[in-house]
Amino acid sequence: MIPVQGFSGQRVGVLGLGRSGLATARALTAGGATPVVWDDSPEARAKAEAEGFTPEDLRRDNVLTTLACVVTSPGIPHLYPAPHPVLLRAMQLGVPLDNDIGLFFRSLGQQDWAAYDTAPRVVAITGSNGKSTTTALIAHILAESGREVQMAGNIGRGVLDIDPPGDGGVVVLELSSYQTDLARALTPDVAVFTNLSPDHLDRHHGMGGYFAAKRRLFAEGGPDRAVVGVDETEGWFLADQLAMGPMDDRVIRVSSGQKLETFGWSVFARKGFLSEWRKGRQIASADLRDIAGLPGAHNHQNAAAAWAAARALGLGPRDIEAALHSFAGLPHRSQLIRTLNGVRFVNDSKATNTDSAAQALRAFPRIRWIAGGMGKEGGISSLAPDLGNIRKAYLIGHSARDFALQLGATPQEICETMDRAVTRAAAEAEPGDVVLLAPAAASFDQYPNFEKRGEHFAALVAALPDP
């Protein structure tokens, strides 16, 4: 646990008592503060009481005015589409707002760091797609290289739940826009921006607000090294804002598909080969084509970002390349479940929007595509250029018929359920085909989350009879 510093002897509100809220309450207690906890759900309040915390109604002014700060969970809106009433009233009363990420950065440094040979470091990753894979890949590279590493944030443990890092330890954080938008302290040593595509726009009042939330990770704390994906205009803009010129190697530009040979430091992947360039010359390279855990150009972008972050931490190219080959990938992200009679079954349930689905569709030939769920605004019309590899689509969930209309002449079948989609795709697949779950939609019509959707797909595939 990371005890929260700076609030000893003070009352601190905690709004939202899920995983991060309860972890925050514990860490506040460890740091000498008194957590004042509240959740709109009676069940969540009861769970907090079972841990020994006493809920107090934060909707009351006479409670809010006693607080030094209100710490809110990331899922609770503080601005758009409308702030939670407790947070709005806290702002009107002048009570500062923060989240567990802000508390983590203000509390991480410990007195015993002075005795360390190498101070611990923090790598923080944000972006629209690829955050989890990039985070896990960086942690994997560090672990394979013998470094002490902990993974936290949106993946792994809650940030305040981790152990204080030891001599030379590294903390690798995946941070969503919900987390970066509100944190009052953001001071990573290495910050990574993967890419940007439309998502969570209601929460950020459009693309400008969404990008601004991501940009805070770089603007607020000034990382020693910034790894910036430049495959979108926003990435070029961010890199330009951070660098003093093209040869400023504090900014490492990364790409999948573009040559970046004219900058102080860059890492890019083209046609399956990764190249690292510094000051006009190539200094390292790696062949990514046969790495099973990193299929497709989108994963090659993740590999380039992870390579750059690892190099910024002082790791050598040979150690990084070896670790790339032993990376198994993450569940629900281009995850190979099984090969049956020459047919690969791939679970990319995390592809909840069209941009991430497009990356999956580009990664494989001869696809039998399982798609559908709670479709997002615009449906799948933007995927029209990426349908060429699809042999047939098997459509499920609430948006199945809407998706069918947008697929046009692409062969398709409305299956409604995952069970029928897997059965039909497996029956029709031929050797060399890939049965790909890449829904391009949220899961909430049939599953509580994308993980459960992917687990159901994997279970159905595992149950298919051997030939």
In tens, the pLDDT along 186-242 reads 999 999 999 998 777 889 999 999 999 999 999 988 899 999 999 999 999 999 999
Q: For 335-461, which CATH class?
A: alpha beta
Span 322-343, pLDDT tens digits: 999 999 888 898 899 999 999 9
Across residues 259-266, what is the average pLDDT? 97
The pLDDT, as a whole number, for residue 462 is 97
Residue 129, marked binder: yes
Q: Which two tokens stand for residue 396?
A: 């499920």
Q: What pLDDT band is residue 12 in, cutting at 50, 70 and 90? A: very high
Which residues are CB-contacts of 242 (< 8 A; sequence separation ≥ 6)? 218, 226, 228, 250, 251
Domain with CATH 3.40.50.720 in the chain: 11-98
Active site residues: 131, 154, 200
pLDDT 10s digits, 397-449: 999 999 999 999 999 999 999 999 999 999 999 999 999 999 999 999 999 99
Question: Chain centroid to CA 384: how far?
Answer: 26
Burial 404-440 (b: 16+ CB within 10 A, else e): bebbeebebeebbebeebbebbbebbeeebbbbbbbb
pLDDT greater at residue 266 or residue 221: 266
Assigned token pair, 379: 């449906």
Chain-centroid distance of CA 32 in Å reads 32
| CA atoms of 111 and 409, how far apart (whole Å) | 65
The CATH 3.90.190.20 domain(s) of the chain lie at 335-461
Lowest mean pLDDT: which of 151-160, 274-283, 387-396?
Answer: 151-160
pLDDT of 329: 84
Q: How confident is the model at residue 10 (pLDDT cuts 50, 70, 90)?
A: very high
- Residue 125: phi, psi to the nearest 5? -120, 130
Q: In this predicted model, what pLDDT tens digit does every residue of 146-193 receive, in sequence order? A: 999 999 998 878 999 999 999 999 999 999 999 999 999 999 999 999
Q: What stretch(es) of the chain map to CATH 3.40.1190.10? A: 111-325
Q: Flag whether 349 is marked binding.
A: no
| CA gap 198, 440 in Å, rounded | 13
Q: What is the pLDDT of residue 157?
A: 87
Which pLDDT score is estimated for 209? 95
Q: Of the candidates 208, 216, 229, which has an alpha carbon nearest to the alpha carbon of residue 188?
A: 216
User: How far is 339 from 316, CA to CA, in rounded Å?
Assistant: 34
The size of the chain, in residues, is 467
Nearest to 246 by CA among 277, 283, 224, 212: 277
Binding residue per annotation — 107?
Answer: no
Instruction: Band the pLDDT of 138: cuts 50, 70, 90.
Output: very high
Report the CATH fold assignment for 11-98: Rossmann fold (3.40.50)
Q: In this structure, which amino acid lies at residue 42?
A: P
pLDDT digits over 52-102, tens only?
Answer: 999 999 999 999 999 999 999 998 999 999 999 999 999 999 999 999 999
Whole-number pLDDT of residue 78: 96
373 labelled binding-site residue: no
Three-class secondary structure of residue 177 per DSSP:
helix
128 annotated as ligand-binding: yes
Which residue carries 């993946």 as its tokens? Answer: 155
**What's residue 293's pLDDT?**
87
Four-way CATH pick for 111-325: 1.10.260.40, 3.40.50.970, 3.55.40.20, 3.40.1190.10: 3.40.1190.10
CA 306 to chain centre: 13
